[in-house]
């Protein structure tokens, strides 16, 4: 009944709903196509990276074998094995150092994001203290204690 009244005044609700549905379907199809393309590109990158890593590993193996043969011919088997082992230990230490730097930088990113989230939630929450907090140098407004028995949460609310 309502749709008929609105149609008399020039507003075809069913047609508008159909148009909106078509627009939503088109957008969903576009997003699905983008996701498929991104997935395909990611799969190709992973495959190429895997083969590149495999080839690099094989090249390093050939290089270590050549180093071993050269050292074995010059200094003997024991010394050649020691040189190859030293090269492998140095490579492992370098990779370990890189891994530690990456882990430390990613933890810093997570910590700074968490601090920003806490600061954002503290700024958004209303303070319920009876007196407005007074922040000192380097002390946020929500972290000021009000009396010896009062404690404040990160949102600036007084707990007793």
Sequential pLDDT tens for the chain (160 residues): 777 777 777 788 888 899 999 999 999 999 999 999 999 999 999 999 999 999 999 999 999 999 999 999 999 999 999 999 999 999 999 999 998 998 888 777 777 777 777 776 666 655 544 454 454 555 455 554 555 544 544 555 544 4
pTM (two decimals): 0.48
State phi, psi for 97 to the nearest 5 degrees.
-60, -40
- Tell me, yes or no, whether 150 lies in a domain: no
Which among 140, 102, 105 has a CA at the least distance from the CA of 119? 140
- Tell me, yes or no, whether 70 lies in a domain: yes
- Tell me, yes or no, whether 137 lies in a domain: no
Question: How many structural domains compose the chain?
Answer: 1
- Tell me, yes or no, whether 76 lies in a domain: yes
- Tell me, yes or no, whether 91 lies in a domain: yes
State phi, psi for 152 to the nearest 5 degrees.
-115, 145
CB-based contact 116:124 (threshold 8 Å): no
Q: Report d(CA 68, CA 80) in Å as an integer.
A: 5
Structural domain including 70 reads: 37-109
- Tell me, yes or no, whether 32 lies in a domain: no
- Tell me, yes or no, whether 56 lies in a domain: yes
């Amino acid at each position: 009944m309502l749709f008929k009244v609105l149609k008399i005044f020039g507003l075809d609700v069913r047609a508008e709903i159909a148009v909106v549905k078509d627009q939503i379907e088109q957008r969903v199809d576009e997003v699905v196509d983008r996701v498929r393309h991104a997935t395909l590109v990611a799969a190709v990158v992973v495959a190429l990276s895997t083969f590149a890593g495999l080839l690099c590993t094989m090249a390093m193996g050939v290089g270590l074998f050549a180093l071993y043969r050269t050292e074995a011919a010059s200094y003997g088997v024991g010394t050649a094995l020691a040189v190859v082992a030293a090269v492998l230990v140095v490579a492992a230490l370098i990779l370990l150092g890189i891994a530690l730097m990456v882990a430390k930088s990613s933890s810093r990113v997570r910590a700074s994001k968490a601090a920003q989230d806490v600061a954002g939630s503290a700024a958004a929450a209303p303070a319920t203290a009876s007196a407005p907090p007074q922040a000192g140098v380097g002390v946020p407004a929500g972290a000021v204690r009000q009396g010896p028995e009062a404690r404040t949460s990160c949102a600036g609310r007084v707990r007793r």
